[in-house]
Structure 1
Amino acid sequence: MKFLLFFVFLTIAQALVHVPLIRRKSLRKTLQEHGGLREGLSPQHDLYSKYVPEDEVAMGEPLLNYMDNEYFGQISIGSPPQEFFVVFDTGSANLWVPSASCSSTACSNHNKFNPHLSSTFQSTHETVSISYGTGSMMGLLVYDTVQVGSIVTRKQGLILSETESIFLYYSHFDGILGLGYPSLSVSGTMPVFDNMWSEGLIPQDIFSVYLSRGNGSMVVFGGIDDSLYTGGLHWVPVTHERFWQISIDSISLGDQVFACEDGCQAIIDTGTSVIAGHTEAVRGIQEAIGAKADIYGLYHVTCSDISSLPDVIITINGMKYPVPPTAYISQFSGSCTSGFQVTSGPWILGDIFIREYFVAFDRSRNRVGFAEAVRS
């Protein structure tokens, strides 16, 4: 079971108090108003061409950045194609989008797949459910054509959700495309990335992720774009081929170690917006940065104190990776919220960490590479 912590946790805490449950403006309309739909995802767009390697052997998929908390790109499913916005999630392994027959409120404001409009659709009678740390869905396993950028996989297994928890109503994406190992797939179907490789659609069994605070975020399938990072990549072996799980040496603030003094395990998870860890260690970090809990369990700091807070140092395979307070404190509507949360499993290094460090995911050698991300 994947522990998924989207920023929507904060949004829900605010929305349940301040906003009645009404149909909000569609994602498509919102992105059109901000110039982020189609233009931002077109191969002819400057953001796309800037980050695609010149030899064009690898394929760059642009990601839209919603408030530095959700990153999602456009894919299409079926023949003719039906378009969806999905999170490219290294912490899960299934692709799912809402079904046209989904009756949940969470589906009401998202794009939904209509199987009757696709000539390549193949149904099954298998029901699949997925539970995340902050939501769940249940649906039907089906097969159809899936296109990511210029890459088209045939007979791709995916799930069409029939029911979704209300949490997903507040997401600004339609579904999730998992990039974890096949052993993580709840339905036993081959993940999209594995099909890309097995069908010879990408030149290398590797993908890489660049998350920006502004425009220009990208997933590169089939290679690494060295224009997205500075210095060299430092490689770390995967310790458990299910999640993209690695060993951490320690987590410290200044000279004081707050977690993993004797080493621990961590998951590199693009589908989680925060850094999550064990209760006692996270509590110690919150106290050290002066964060206080509100009635919803969210921790806040005084905004004027951010510049004086220490870096959080995550040491991996002997290399120190500083995470500054400007990265782990989120500022929104005059409130400054800590980006550390609690999980009972391995530590999770989510988008807070990945915005600072470009990450390459190498399936051919079962390793993860880190380098300092280019600042946008």
Structure 2
Amino acid sequence: MMKWAVLLCAVLALSECSVRVSLIKGKSARDALEEKGLWNEYRLKYPYNPMAKFGQSYAVGYESMTNDADMSYYGVISIGTPPQSFLVIFDTGSSNLWVPSDYCGSAACNNHHKFNPSLSSTFKSTNQPLSIYYGTGSMTGFLGYDTVGVGGIQVPHQIFGLSQTEAPFMAYMKADGILGLAYPRLSSAGAQPVFDNMVQQGLVQDYFSVYLSSKSQTGSEVIFGGTNPNHYTGSLIWVPLSSETYWQITMDSITVNGQVVACNGGCQAIVDTGTSLIVGPNSDIASLNSYVGATTSNGDAVVNCNNIASMPVVSFNINGHSFTLPASAYTRQSYYYGCRTGFGNGGSDLWILGDVFIREYYTIFNRGTNSVGLAKAV
């Protein structure tokens, strides 16, 4: 299966690298819950316990992410003692953490931050090799252990990859590396993912949530062990996983104006923060693009920018619920290339609900119940 995330952020990312802190201004959490009609339900389910913070309890890790031209989302983590900082893509479609290292001489490493093991008093090498393959290249290196800081939480004895070679296209990535948030069974070399280590060590509860801003705005965040009701409205719809490798679910169909145009009879889809587009089987994507009025040019699904307001809504029908995307959500305008849809060929039967979808739906990834929760993002 084509892993689109790295390729697209490498080739299409436009804005300069910057890291911004996400702030919630002018509205308390209770205000937000009351406004959505959820306060009574919330306080009954989670009774107020003012002494909880003085006892042993879980932390909540708030990690702000930079939106890079709606094509990739990344935040800052640290590795080592004293900490060395790196930009990483938080990717629910993979499971390994890796960053460039001082042992790497590839062009992609030379224009990114490199981890220097000799500067960390807590680093331990395993000499175990690591290879991770993406759709257009790979990274190779070895595994080591060190303290990883993410979202204000320190995760001791975390295994991670130190790259020794990286594919040429990675030189164009804004991020230095990738932090995978899928299941351990997907992890290369059996390396335990960061989130699993956080949960196993009792640092956070066993779920995390993601909000992706649109139009390069600030505010994107991933929250480990918590949610942010300011970023969604209405009730959460919980969808059970069909496989515990990726965050994989069963999709019933995709419809336009009530007519099934793709995923006829049902299909499998993964919810993937690390993929920019919505990706599907070639024939289904061709059908979907045709129904919304796109034409193919040089592999892109092109639309007339003047027609976006009149283009149809696309409905992704999942677990008996309809999750709709207006044309303004599934099209993107580029200064250089005009307007294109966010529906791309994947060369596989597996669909990927990437950032185009997640921007519209606040997503909770729940390991305790092996499910994803979806609610309309605001």
Q: Given the two structures, how large is their TM-score scaled by the length of structure 1?
A: 0.87
Alpha-carbon deviations, 1:39-63, whole Å to 9, x = none? x24xxx6359989999894221111
Which residue of 2 is the match for residue 210 of structure 1?
A: 211
Q: What amino acid maps onto 1:4 in structure 2?
A: K
Q: Distance in 1 between matches of 2:10 and 2:190?
A: 33
1:253 and 2:256 are equivalent in the alignment: yes
- How does 1:158-197 map onto structure 2 within 5 Å? 158-197=160-199
User: How far apart in 1 are the matches of 2:87 and 2:200?
Assistant: 24
Partner of 2:36: none
CA contact (8 A) 1:91 1:180 kept: yes
**Structure 2 counterparts to residues 1-376 of structure 1, below 5 A:** 3-6=2-5, 8-9=7-8, 12=11, 30-31=16-17, 36-37=18-19, 40-41=20-21, 46=23, 57-202=59-204, 204-213=205-214, 214-295=217-298, 297-333=299-335, 335-343=338-346, 344-374=348-378
User: Is the 1:6–1:134 contact (alpha carbons within 8 Å) kept by the matching residues of 2?
Assistant: no
Q: 1:286: Cα distance to partner?
A: 1.7
Pick closer, same or farther for the CA change 1:362–1:11 going to 2, 3 Å: closer
The separation in 2 between residues aligned to 1:57 and 1:79, in whole angstroms, is 21
Deviations 1:289-329, CA, capped at 9 Å, x for gaps = 2323333x222111111111111100011110011111111
Q: What is the CA distance between 1:158 and its match in structure 2?
A: 0.5
- Give the Cα separation in 2 of the matches to 1:14 and 1:72: 12
Tell me which residue corresponds to 1:19: none
* Counterpart-to-counterpart distance in 2, 1:132 and 1:237: 27
Q: 1:52 to 1:208 in 2, by over 3 A?
A: farther
Query: What is the CA distance between 1:102 and its match in structure 2?
Result: 1.0
- 8 Å CA contact retained: 1:5, 1:133: yes
Provide closer, same or farther for how the CA distance between residues 14 and 316 of structure 1 changes in structure 2, counting only shifts above 3 A. Answer: closer
In 1, are the aligned partners of 2:13 and 2:173 still within 8 Å (CA)? no
Aligned partners of 1:48 and 1:62 also within 8 Å: no
SS in 1 for 2:227: coil
Q: Which amino acid aligns with 2:295?
A: K
CA distance in 1, matches of 2:66, 2:148: 19
Relative distance call for 1:99 and 1:182 in structure 2 (3 A) is: same
TM-score, with structure 2 as normaliser: 0.87
Instruction: Report how far residue 149 of structure 1 moved.
Output: 2.1
- Three-state SS of the structure 1 residue aligned to 2:182 is coil
Against the structure 1 CA distance between its residues 122 and 363, is the aligned structure 2 distance closer, same or farther, given a 3 Å change threshold? same
The gaps in structure 1 that reach 5 residues or longer are 16-26
Task: Mark the CA change 1:127 to 1:57 in structure 2 (over 3 Å): closer, same or farther.
Answer: closer
Give the partner amino acid of 1:211.
Answer: L
Return the letter of the residue paired with 2:212: L
Aligned counterparts of 2:73 and 2:351: Cα–Cα separation in 1: 21
Q: Is the 8 A contact 2:8 2:71 kept in 1?
A: no
Offset at 1:103?
A: 1.3
**How many Å separate the matches in 2 of 1:112 and 1:292?**
43
Distance in 2 (alpha carbons) for counterparts of 1:131 and 1:49: 45
Whole-angstrom CA distance in 2 between matches of 1:11 and 1:220: 25
Q: Structure 1 CA distance, aligned partners of 2:76 and 2:13? A: 28
Q: Give the CA deviation at 1:13.
A: 7.8
2:43 corresponds in structure 1 to none
How far apart in 2 are the matches of 1:6 and 1:92?
A: 10
Identity %: 48
| d(CA) in 1 for partners of 2:95, 2:272 | 12
Q: Separation in 2 of the partners of 1:373 and 1:363? A: 21
Letter of the aligned partner of 2:373 in structure 1?
A: G
Other structure's SS at 2:104 match: coil
Indicate how the Cα distance of structure 1 residues 10 and 283 shifts in structure 2: closer, same or farther if over 3 A, else same.
farther
Q: Is the 8 A contact 1:47 1:215 kept in 2?
A: no
Pairwise CA distance, 1:366: 0.6
Deviations 1:63-122 (Å, cap 9, x if unpaired)? 111111110010000110000011111000000001112111111211111111111111
- SS of 2:328's partner is helix
What are the superposed Cα offsets for residues 194-242 of structure 1, whole Å, 9 maximum, x if unpaired? 111111111x211010111111111010122222210111101111110
Cα 1:52/1:59, change in 2 over 3 Å: farther
Distance 1:13 1:149 in 2: 27
Give secondary structure in 2 for the equivalent of 1:6.
Answer: helix
Name the CA distance, whole Å, in 2 between partners of 1:13 and 1:147: 29
1:53 and 1:201, CA in 2 relative to 1: closer, same or farther beyond 3 A? farther
Give, in whole Å, the separation in 2 of the partners of 1:250 and 1:53.
37
Per mean C-alpha deviation after superposition, the further-off stretch among 133-142 and 322-331 is 133-142
